[in-house]
Amino acid sequence: MSFANEFETRALQWVFTTGSPTRPTSWYLALFTSNPDEDGSGTEVSTSGTAYAREAVTFTVSGNAATNSGAIEYATATASFGTVSHVGVYDASTAGNLIAYAALSSSKAIDTGDILRIPAGDLDITLD
């Protein structure tokens, strides 16, 4: 995953200023049909008539990697989500700030009746 502009700004503020940015207390995984890029400008799956909503995600950290500690499961699609190609971690269930984003190892078409599941340990964020 890559870090978004918002995270980079918060990290620099934390390291190089005396003020402290507010730390998010919850994280949510968003699905995208195009690259959200550092500014979150990609196309997130529509919430209109699809049953899509960002799902809460928790992480465990070991060394330089954060990994989802539990499975993430989206509601059964009531209409096509489209072809999901990217994910993004946000600090809010709607709107909010994009913290990190990545392309999926393979895109996945989510059609009516499908359920997208991400097993525990399959979402990794690393610092190199």
Q: What's residue 84's pLDDT? A: 98
Delimit the domains of the chain by residue range: 2-16+26-126
Q: What's residue 120's pLDDT? A: 98
Q: What is the 3-state secondary structure of the chain?
A: CEECHHHHHHHHHHHHCCCCCCCCCCEEEEEECCCCCCCCCCCECCCCCCCCCCEEECEEEECCEEEECCCEECCCCCCCCEEEEEEEEECCCCCCCEEEEEEEEEEEEECCCCCCEECCCCCEEECC
Q: What's residue 91's pLDDT? A: 96
Per-residue pLDDT of the chain (128 residues; tens, 9 = 90+): 889 988 888 888 888 887 778 888 999 999 999 999 999 999 999 999 999 999 999 999 999 999 999 999 999 999 999 999 999 999 999 999 999 999 999 999 999 999 999 999 999 999 87
pTM for this structure? 0.92
Q: What's residue 51's pLDDT? A: 98
> How far, in Å, are 48, 110, 111, 112 from residue 76 at the CA level?
14, 10, 9, 8
Do residues 81 and 112 make contact, with C-beta atoms less than 8 angstroms apart?
Answer: no
Consecutive H or E run containing 20? none
Tokens representing residue 126 in the block: 């690393």
Q: What's residue 26's pLDDT? A: 96
Identify any residues that bridge with 103 across adjacent strands, giving them in sequence order. Answer: 86
